[in-house]
Structure 1
Amino acid sequence: MRAILYEPLPNSKRIKVYIPYDLTAIREQIKAMNSSYWHKDQKLWSVINTPDNRRFLESILGNTFRIEKTTMPKQVEKSELSIEQNDELLALHKTLTLKRYSDSTIRSYKNLLGVFLNAFAHKNSSDITTADIEEYLHHLIASHDISTSYQNQLINAIKAYYEHVLGRERTFYNITRPKRAIELPDILSRDEIAAIIKHPTNLKHRAILTTIYSAGLRISELVNLRVADIHSKEGYIFVKNSKGKKDRHTILAHALLPLLRTYYKEYRPSYWLFEGQTGGKYSVSSIRAIFRKAVAGTNSNPWATVHTLRHSFATHSIENNVNMRHVQIMLGHNSSKTTEIYTKTIAINNKKVSSPLDSF
């Protein structure tokens, strides 16, 4: 069987390649590349999409490969909504706003409900049955290859409309859902974390990344931190109104305090701990850009996101034998089962665990 080099789509950041099992030497050369990554679900390798990397791949593959086009799933059709359908979206917006759903959830549900209503433009929404909904979902899976995440979000948007706006009984929502894939979160090693948070030369940027990791914060929680939320004497950070409208305390690392004090003396934030150049909260997009630059500059896992810092905080805390209940509280999880996923991401090697064979 020949290797396959997949032609990247316009603006694609990575080049994917399939390497047959018997091409061991080629696979080892790809593994040695700085930006290489193994996609275990797709059984593909990928590297950053640059002309140099493309030429290198073609040179090591030689006559053993063929080029195939990368195809994208067909987009879900959506046309202009009627006045009545827009009124239904406004009703959903009003109801979810009164229930204090987050702005991002409201936007997502309105967009997905618009897709759903568009598909049933020929039918009154109050007449749509569970069978109609399941048939529509089956159509999207078969013809558009929608992800399980998209499917679940669409079902949630439909449920929100029928339950909260139309006041239907919950028994109406007995809709078949996909089996949830058990995926482990990406984790950065301690060395990668150290390199990433030290990479920015800008003091504010370094303080932002260090604060996120050291306290296990979400990116939205970081931008909403106030100066008053840093309790240096008591040794905790107060996180107000986080996901699920919950307040919580998380750890204020001893090593973070000197950095925050130096940052405060230089920037003098007035209300928000991290302010933009013109005042107000620091932007989420700017933090993501800071993180991507640090990842690229340190040759760390290219698939890591800002949220990977939170995952890594949880995993490293468990590796440090922090009580699981404490980790749950610091992360703000309702259920311990959510926190327990990190027990599956801890590093397993012969330096930390001994095999029964070693006791023979």
Structure 2
Amino acid sequence: MKWKAELIEHRNVKRIGIWFEKNPELIQKIKKFNDAKWSSTLGVWHLPDNAENRLKFKIDAIPEKVLVADKLKHLNDFTTYLRTKRYSESTIKTYTEALKSFFIFYNHKSVDSINNEDVVCYYEHHIIKNNLSSSYQNQIVNAIKLYFKTLQNPALDINRVYRPKREKVLPNVLSKTEIKQILSAHRNIKHNTMLSLIYSCGLRRSELLNLKPGDIDSKRGLILIRQAKGKKDRMVPLSSKILGMLREYYRLYKPATWLFEGQQTGRPYDERSLASVLKQALKKAGIKKDVSLHWLRHSYATHLLENGTDLRYIQEILGHNSSKTTEIYTHVSAKSLQSIKSPFDDL
């Protein structure tokens, strides 16, 4: 197995990033490591930073890369700019980590002298060489363009910083039977309610964790999603069945500030703990697929479409800016595909 290992920081936790040639056999090998995870944000598989993994991947022989002082100041200034523009914390982290990777590659070169040829060189000798995803490259482009636009660097023409051709990947969708198995796996009402609410309303993980009790409008049968992706508020329909679950959950737990709180009162439930809740449900249900929380949202949208819901309403419920984003669900709707008769049947 040919690999490259480096210490990284993912969601404020030290991890070991593993880069390797993309193929199914190597992916299966990396999955066998305890707590191995794929980060779509960073475009890398990562493992716990412990003595066993450091020894296995010779991590001690690879020094952690640190930015030189002037670039660290530029990076901190960029972070401050993003905060003043009211970008979300997740977007700020994504952009700063992407720009940090680019800066580290040119640690020897002053920021003011970086030009378009340097960007192309970075693509070739870092992103392509390490077989990083086009989505990660796209994040690099976003960070570079936004940073150098605000810096007004004369050596780099941001209009000539090109984007990679995006991969066309279909959303992962579970059957209604699989959804039912997952949502009925937990006896703990809190765990069951969280997973059920994500599916029943098509919520993103962050949207669920940012809910407050007052966001549930039981009389109108709606949930207010505040300042979601793109800094937009939206309303989503609330089923009577999930409303009953929420009432029972509220009676037992009596959350103070957030609808779903962690062990400490007044603190939102941890996103890693939520991922663990899903992982436990999959194990109990006997589902072997590498399901993420976002699969529940994809499945909700696809099942709405299969039930005959208009795409425009689905777009509004999911909070998509463009109808093209929502139209991808037409490609995975089993009902639509199964209605197509093959000419082979007429032979």
Same fold, TM exceeding 0.5?
yes
- Deviations along 1:274-329, one digit per CA (max 9) or x if unpaired, are 12222121111111100011012112242110111000000000000011111001
Correspondence 1:110 to 2:91: no
Tell me, yes or no, if structure 1 residue 183 matches structure 2 residue 174. no
Could you give the per-residue CA deviations for residues 199-241 of structure 1, whole angstroms, max 9, x where no partner exists? Answer: 1110111010100000000010001111111112211111001
Q: For residues 214 and 259 of structure 1, what CA distance do their matches in structure 2 show?
A: 12
| Aligned equivalents of 1:154, 1:350: Cα separation in 2 | 37
Kept in 1: contact 2:114–2:156 (CA 8 A):
no
Matched with 2:191 is 205
Corresponding residue SS for 2:147: helix
**Map of 1:223 onto structure 2:** 209
Q: Paired residue for 2:42? A: none
Q: Is residue 236 of structure 2 the alignment partner of residue 239 of structure 1?
A: no
Alpha carbons 2:207, 2:228 under 8 Å: kept: yes
Q: Give, in angstroms, the shift of residue 258 of structure 1.
A: 1.2
- CA distance in 1 between counterparts of 2:219 and 2:132 reads 50
Which whole-Å deviations, capped at 9, do the CAs of 1:45-90 have from their partners, x for residues lacking one?
A: 959849xxxxxxxxxxxxxxxxxxxx9xxxx996322221111011
Mapped pair 1:329 → 2:319 = no
**Preserved contact between residue 305 and residue 333 of structure 2 (Cα < 8 Å):** yes
Which of 241, 247, 259 is equivalent to 1:273? 259
Structure 2 equivalent of residue 259 of structure 1: 245
1:133 equivalent in structure 2: 119
The verdict on how the C-alpha distance between 1:42 and 1:122 changes in structure 2, with shifts beyond 3 A counting, is: closer
Structure-2-length-normalised TM-score? 0.78
How far did 1:112 drift?
2.3
Tell me by how many angstroms 1:164 deviates. 2.2
Q: Percent identity?
A: 38
Match of 2:299 among 312, 317, 321: 312
Per the alignment, residue 153 of structure 1 pairs with 139
1:209·1:291 contact (CA, 8 Å) conserved in 2?
Answer: yes
CA spacing shift, 1:77–1:314, aligned 2, 3 Å: farther
RMSD: 3.2
**Paired amino acid for 2:83:** T
* Preserved CA contact (<8 Å) 1:130 1:173: no
Q: TM-score, normalised by structure 1?
A: 0.76
Query: Partner letter of residue 163 of structure 1?
Result: K
- How many residues end up aligned between the 2 structures? 304
Change (3 A) 1:81 1:8: closer
Using the TM superposition, give the Cα deviation of residue 271 of structure 1 relative to its aligned residue in structure 2, in angstroms: 2.9
Determine whether 1:144 maps to 2:130.
yes
The structure whose Rg is larger is 1
- Structure 1: 5+ residue stretches without partners: 1-5, 11-40, 51-70
1:295 is matched with 282
SS class of match (2:334): coil
Q: Deviations over 1:160-201 (max 9, x none)?
A: 210123377995232232211110111111001001011111
Contact 1:91 1:165 in 2 (8 A): no
Q: 2:325 maps to what in 1?
A: 338
Q: Unaligned stretches of 5+ in structure 2?
A: 6-21, 34-56
1:119-175 per-position Cα deviation (integer Å, ceiling 9, x unaligned):
223322122111221122111144322221221111221112101233779952322
CA distance in 1, matches of 2:116, 2:3: 40
